Structure 1
């Protein structure tokens, strides 16, 4: 299950980065903020998985 969560985190990060970039390009501040939030959510999920890996060992 951990691998599934790690890949989910990467997908969230990528989607967030893309949404943020598109929002900046078209001047849509709302989309930019959504992208930043989504990327941060992916970062948090990835950090959680890294902590879980540390305690597994």
Structure 2
């Protein structure tokens, strides 16, 4: 596991929390920010997976 994957998963979790808090409080802006952050975290984690795969392949 590399730093990019860890950072992505952390960002995804943080986004999920914001999304849930936004839903519970009725704050649509926070809910949508959380959804966006969650998707960004997923993308970053996938990028980390690709980096790992490339590194393994080139060895």
State whether structure 2 residue 49 is matched by structure 1 residue 50: yes
Q: Quick check: which has more Rg, 1 or 2? A: 2
Contact 2:2 2:52 in 1 (8 A): no
Where in structure 2 are there 5+ consecutive unaligned residues? none
C-alpha root-mean-square deviation of aligned residues, in Å? 1.2
> How far apart, CA to CA, are the structure 1 residues paired with 2:4 and 2:44?
8
Q: State how 1:1-57 maps to structure 2 within 5 Å.
A: 3-57=2-56
Where in structure 1 are there 5+ consecutive unaligned residues? none
